[in-house]
Structure 1
């Protein structure tokens, strides 16, 4: 089976980002290695790694900085509309910039967006077409 297992975010300050995501996810990270931080979430882990080290690991020719909106967002699906508001408020309290307050979507869901300390954009979203398995994996409802 093919599946996405880890998303690694290149961050400017590992400790700042680790503290931020600890507050947002309300899940303790795995810090077995001092240069990387893992948040084991249902279905996919989030890894934080210093941006310069990540770029160097890929190739010495990869730029060690970013600029502007990359065209990529991350989605954190939740089970209720109220959870959207709760997670957005946790992100705001952790220092996120809320770029779109929670609101009804054109497709029948409810979502909001925040940017983390490194400018990565996250959508926190509830949708009536989504369901979760017992282990937290996201599914489309049948029917």
Structure 2
């Protein structure tokens, strides 16, 4: 089997709010935009972030389990410098993201911070100086 991830799909409660956040606020461009159903954004070489209306998601995949707490997944945006971590977090906050703590130097040598999108999905913004961190940079 070819080892890769092609799509990351998030079931969102309010597709219009997610569209505004990701497209207008963060400056992403939709590759596919079907009002009331889905917004697909190319986020890397052969990788698509799919923001799918929760009802449409449930119709195909099954009921969404929601409860208190944080959705049990994080997405990461790696950058080349600590300053870039600050810049991306500021852009996300200006787009309406909720700040989740403050950027922190991690014991493994990196520098990371988090923000939450309109549905509470956590995005890590990370500077990782190790080879694995550098391997995902453009």
**TM-score, reference length from structure 1:** 0.82
Q: Which whole-Å CA distance do the structure 1 matches of 2:98 and 2:76 have between them?
A: 16
* SS of corresponding position for 2:112: strand
Q: Which whole-Å CA distance do the structure 2 matches of 1:71 and 1:11 have between them?
A: 14
Count of aligned pairs between the two proteins:
130
Structure 1 unmatched runs, 5+? 133-137
Other-structure match for 1:135:
none
Pair 46,66 (structure 1): closer, same or farther in 2 beyond 3 Å:
same
Provide the alpha-carbon RMSD of the alignment. Answer: 1.7
Other-structure match for 1:51:
54
Q: Which whole-Å CA distance do the structure 2 matches of 1:7 and 1:40 have between them?
A: 10
Q: Which whole-Å CA distance do the structure 2 matches of 1:78 and 1:95 have between them?
A: 21
- Tell me the CA shift for residue 85 of structure 1: 0.8
Other-structure match for 1:66:
66
Matches within 5 A, 1:87-126: 87-126=88-127
